[in-house]
Structures are given as structure tokens and as C-alpha cells.
Structure 1
């Protein structure tokens, strides 16, 4: 069994490396973001109620987040096709990345054992990592509440 914090990067530590395909024919990588602050947020499944609330909240906050210089990247274990549909359906302009093999989620300690209706399974924990321009993790949010997340990120981004 993996716990959420086992192997997870901590605040002040370097962000684990990643390269993933993303919506709109883009790709995202730690190397591309070098020298820029960014938010890497992990969500369980595209086009589900909580994930939609979270993504739309972040989309609404993008102009304010952009003023802080922050890039936002959403990450789910979904294949690209449902991610593209989700991005188009809700006009999400920030990159949504596919981590189908959950290697990035594992590096960030968010691929965890979950349970529903008495059944246990491995899945994505809704968590976010705010990474400063120096590549170090500035803030970690675990078990994020979708409705409040964009405001939390904006507050923290202003302090970078």
C-alpha cells in the first residue's frame, strides 16, 4: 500500500522531472518551465463533477493567475482523447496533460490506494504542487476541495 506522502516531494525540495502530452497538441515538461513558476494539479478523471468544478474554477482565475506569471497544468491518468473532449467542452485553455502510466503521479506521491463502496483500488489523489521559478516546490495541497482551490492557488502565487 502506498500512502499519499510516501515518496512525495516536500515544500522546499526540487520538483520531480516530467514530460507529458497535453491538450491542444501541446506537451509539457519541467525543462520547458525552467525559470517560471507553475502549478501542477492532479485530478482523478476528466469531465466528472468535482474535476469539472476545479478545472472551470482555475479557468476563471487564469487572468489573475497570469498576472502573477503562473502557468497552470492539469494532470489526469486519462488518455488524450477524453482529455481533449473535456478541454473543448469547457473551453479550458490551459494544458491538460495525460499521465496514463501514472509515472508522474507516482513521482509526486499522488498515485494512491483509494476505496469506494468497500472496494480498494489505485487512483489519483486530487492534489496540487505550486512550483517556484527556481524549480522548488513552494506549496503542496493534498485532498484539494475543488470549489476553493483556485482562490488558494491565487493567494499562494501572489507570495512567490
Structure 2
């Protein structure tokens, strides 16, 4: 009987802990939370520098130097010429530290920056921080006005670069002249 009470108490404690860590997610139409993140190129990027000037795409991945994340980043590199036709700043992002993302970007010869969110504040603000403490593989499309246009939660790593281009076309993100 004592085991039943102990198991019940453990279950109740787990449920309470889980409910306290529920994440609030931004939705389409919401303002993007403010961010200030360092990229693998050593530059600092902020939400304010793009507002009113340029759309943004941020493709989150869980962890540098892993199989799916490598495929995703390579796919975006391979679609670079197509992505650069749009008036958009595009990035991948993770909760890895800047040094790790710099090394990862260099190992893949990326032509775009990986943003680092080591304190996980931006991932939390977006709602894409998973219970495992890494970001979910979600991609955010943000308009020039700073509003969330679309959130892709079904990323296909091998075709993600082409999928981003197709989604930007659907969303009507302007192309460069």
C-alpha cells in the first residue's frame, strides 16, 4: 500500500512540474519577441535592425554536429542562390554556444549565419524550446513589420532550403529587383 502512495505522489509531482514548464508559443500575427543574438559570422543581429526594412526567416535546429541538423543546414546552403533572390535575411539558429556554431558553420562552408541563443531566452520567448532543453526544429517567417507570418513545425531536413523558398513565394515575400 505504501508503494501506491509513493507512486501516486511521484506522478502528481511530475504532473505539477510539467504544467509549470508549459511553453507559451507565439502565433501567426504576433510580434516577434525582441532578440539580440550573435551569429557564426561574429556579428550581432537584433530584431530592431530588420523591422520596417526586411523580412526574416529563422530555421531552428536542436544541436550542431548532428545528422538532421547537418542535412538541414546543407540544404539551406545548397538553396542559397534561390533564397538570395528574396528580400529576406535568413538564418539557422540553435541554443548551442557561439563557438560551437562557428565551428559547425565553418565545417559546412555555410554562406549564411547560424544564430546562437545559449541562454535560451529567445527560444523560450518563441515557445520553441523543447522540454529536453534544445530548440524544436521549427522555422519562423517574420514580415518586414515584425509580425510572425508563418511557423513551420514539419521541417523536412533534406529539402528545407527549397521548402523555405517555396513558402516565401506563397507568403508573397518580395524578390529583389
Deviations, residues 78-107 of structure 1 (Å, cap 9, x unaligned): 111111111111111211111011000001
Q: 1:108 aligns with which of 112, 123, 126?
A: 126
1:97 to 100, 103, 115: 115
Which residue in the other structure is 1:118 paired with? none
* Consecutive aligned runs of 4 or more in structure 1 exceeding 6 Å deviation: none
Alignment-derived partner of residue 11 in structure 1? 28
TM-score, length of structure 1 as denominator length: 0.88
Aligned to 1:151: 162
Q: CA deviation at 1:143?
A: 4.4
Q: How many residues align?
A: 151
TM-score, with length taken from structure 2:
0.80
Is 1:127 the equivalent of 2:138?
yes
Q: Going by fraction, where is strand more abundant, 1 or 2?
A: 1
1:49 pairs with one of 52, 55, 67: 67
Please tell me the root mean square deviation across aligned C-alpha atoms, in Å. Answer: 1.4
Q: Give the greater-gyration-radius structure (CA).
A: 2
Q: Which runs of 5+ in 1 are unaligned?
A: 114-120
Conserved 8 A contact 1:70-1:157: no
More helix by share: 2
Instruction: Work out the CA distance in 1 between the residues paired with 2:58 and 2:134.
Output: 17
Q: Flag structure 2 segments of 5+ consecutive residues without an equivalent.
A: 1-17
Other-structure match for 1:117: none
